[in-house]
Amino acid sequence: MQVNALFSALFASAFVFIQCYISGTRLAFSLPAYALIGIAGAVAVFGLRSKGGTPGRGCVAAMVLCFGYILGRAFCSPVDYLARADFYMVLACLVVYGLTVRHFFETSARLSIITAMFVLALAEVLIGLWQFSNSDGWMPFGLMRAAVETRASGMFISSIHFAGYLEAIGPFALALMAWGTRNRGARLLSGFIAMLCYLGVVISGSRGGWLSSLFSLGVFAVISFLLTKWTNRARLGIFLLSSTLAVIAAGAGVLALMERSEMLRKRMDLVSRIGAVASGDKAAGPYDIRVYNWQAALDQWKLDRWTGTGAGTHLYYGRQFRRPQLQADPEHAHSDYLELLAEYGILGAVGMALFLATHLRSGARRFRRLVQLRAEDPYAPSHELAINIGALTAVSAYLAHSVVDFNLHLPGNALLFAFIFGILATEKVPASPAQDGDDPTPRRFTAGGALLPPLGIALTILSIAKLPGEYWCEKARVAIRDGRYAEAITFAGRALASEKRNPFIYYHLGQAHRRNAMVSPRYVGKTDLELAERAYRAGLDLFPQDEALWVRLGQTLDALADYKNARIAYEAALQLDPNLGILYAYYAKHLKTVGREAEAEEAIAKGQKLTPINLSTFFIPPPLASEAPEASGE
């Protein structure tokens, strides 16, 4: 029991840390959490012969096929650094999954972790309410949002992911209120947390979050209706009445909130266009800019239909296949399903479908068994049953939301669902409602349990080894953002002392030298420019598909009067991203520098057709903060 408590504490700490730092979107923020999870997996060696849960065989087979393939495909991806995010995230998810099945099998352990998630959700909503009410971009821990807006995002960079977290936590609070306890205080607290979670979804302004929350609440209502019908038919009338009143009250509250928020009204207007678009009304235009992300992802998939183009490759194929209407950087496909298909092919999609099907089937079977136990005493609360219902409902939310967003590409949210799928996979059911999931029967040694320690050790070693390079790389990026170029050069040098396979370290080093050259005397500036050129070329050796490195190299070569090679660099960037308007402005500036006025005008005209930005302003020296195009690393 003490060992299991340690596992729970390590996982809860890792989960809270990664969610507080933008859900681990950057490896510098996710690796410390992975190390904690790895330590928990390594410590599992002391619990190999202790009692523990076991997953269904179908779940294990699907997990091995799906995630074994994903790890292998990520390992063989063309740009190894871009594949690291998926590789480490999947390793961490496998350890969390194994810990949940093997060591978090008791209801008390699962409740302790869910409680930590509730506390985190409360903090997220409070920060989101501040952002929504004050229309500012404040975030804790010195982090910054991309833009100041009224949409709440909590401790996430994006309001989409803020809604994605809350829509997965809300169902557990709702289920515990309805089915988990008779204690009035505990029920009121669970209901309050559920209300806050869905309030957070509303103020996020995320249309995908709204629709997926409605869908999952519908699933919760169906499950609750069936449970009431099968175990206590006499209370069906009360159930229907209370459900109707809850819907009316929630609807009235949402409408009142929307009356006070112009942002929410505008977002709702966009949702109302779905019907017009679905009916083929051309005047309605495309429902969402995501359509162009999806088209690019499908074009990417056609390059390798069966095995995909590799982990992380949508970062550059999304640019190569971008539609002119999409000028923002398409780092993700805005669909977990399509990005999986594009990067891992049909084999990856089939593996994921098997994984989802087997776990939903396992969760449904477990639900039926728990219902049979509850039928013996219809009024007996069951935390085990409530957790099972919460897990099924949370998965339904992401099944819907993943169509239009990429929540499962965030490490923090992926770890959350590794825990949830571990709950669904566990076959153990309490012998009676009184036990409520705490099974004293010892479990035999299992091969699955034996795999946890080596997986944990490998994850710990990899995470600790890569953390210094990522930490100093992030410090360099922030220093450049703040105009501290000398410090950025120092930080990038420290990063390179630990990590030489990260192309973005070379990008930041090049940026620091190039920008330092702009504010230095000529003789010093030339040295900085030469060092910048060397850094950019080193980055391109690792990541030749990165347009940002090519553009910055071209600018540096222009400053060094190496116009022939500068033109080659600009043309390489345009070949990688032919529909990004701002690239033509950089190229036109180069053409004007070498006296090719007519070609420069043609480039400007072509770029201006692609973007609403006034490209003529690029011929006026801009402030440094607005210099960068929409590209990775800046």
Query: For residue 560, what is the domain's CATH number?
Result: 1.25.40.10
Q: Decide if pLDDT at 168 tops 50.
A: yes
The mean pLDDT value for 185-204 works out to 93
Q: Decide if pLDDT at 577 tops 50.
A: yes
> Does residue 427 sit within a domain?
yes
Give pLDDT tens digits for 539-566.
999 999 999 999 999 999 999 999 999 9
> Does residue 295 sit within a domain?
yes
**Residue that is last in its domain, among 441, 472, 499:** 441
Q: How far apart are CA 44 and CA 46, in angstroms?
A: 5
Q: Decide if pLDDT at 253 tops 80.
A: no
Confidence band for 273, pLDDT divided at 50, 70 and 90:
low
What per-residue confidence (pLDDT) applies to 622?
A: 42
Q: How far apart are CA 152 and CA 406, in angstroms?
A: 18
Q: Decide if pLDDT at 184 tops 90.
A: no
**How many CB atoms sit inside 10 A of residue 396's CB?**
22
- Find the length of the chain: 634
Q: Decide if pLDDT at 135 tops 90.
A: no
> Does residue 463 sit within a domain?
no
Among 54-58, 67-71, 145-149, 294-298, whose mean pLDDT is lowest?
Answer: 145-149
Q: Do 437 and 508 belong to one domain?
A: no
Could you give the number of structural domains in the chain?
Answer: 2
Among 287-291, 422-426, 531-535, whose mean pLDDT is lowest?
Answer: 287-291
Top-confidence residue, 435 or 289: 289
> Does residue 516 sit within a domain?
yes
pTM of the model: 0.91
> Does residue 42 sit within a domain?
no
Give pLDDT tens digits for 44-87.
777 655 566 678 889 999 999 999 999 999 999 999 999 999 99
Q: Do 525 and 435 belong to one domain?
A: no
> Could you give the percent of the chain with pLDDT greater than 70?
87
Place of tokens 């950025």: 488
Q: Do 325 and 231 belong to one domain?
A: yes
Q: Do 145 and 254 belong to one domain?
A: yes
Rg of the chain (C-alpha set): 26
DSSP 177: I
Q: How far apart are CA 369 and CA 59, in angstroms?
A: 18
State in Å, rounded, how far the first CA of the chain is from the last one. 48
DSSP 610: T
Q: Do 420 and 272 belong to one domain?
A: yes
Contacts of 453 (CB under 8 A, 6+ apart): 41, 42, 44, 45, 48
> Does residue 67 sit within a domain?
no
Q: Do 280 and 377 belong to one domain?
A: yes
Q: Decide if pLDDT at 15 tops 50.
A: yes
Question: Which stretches within 103-183 are classed as H helix?
Answer: 107-134, 159-175
Q: How far apart are CA 319 and CA 330, in angstroms?
A: 6
The mean pLDDT value for 284-291 works out to 67
> Does residue 31 sit within a domain?
no
Confidence band for 508, pLDDT divided at 50, 70 and 90:
very high
Structural domain boundaries enclosing 315? 107-441
Where do the DSSP E strands lie in 420-575? none
**Residue that is last in its domain, among 419, 441, 463:** 441
Q: How far apart are CA 538 and CA 529, in angstroms?
A: 14
Give pLDDT tens digits for 300-316.
999 999 999 999 999 99
**How many CB atoms sit inside 10 A of residue 619's CB?**
13
> Does residue 388 sit within a domain?
yes
The mean pLDDT value for 500-520 works out to 94
What per-residue confidence (pLDDT) applies to 447?
A: 53
Q: Do 489 and 433 belong to one domain?
A: no
Q: Do 428 and 541 belong to one domain?
A: no
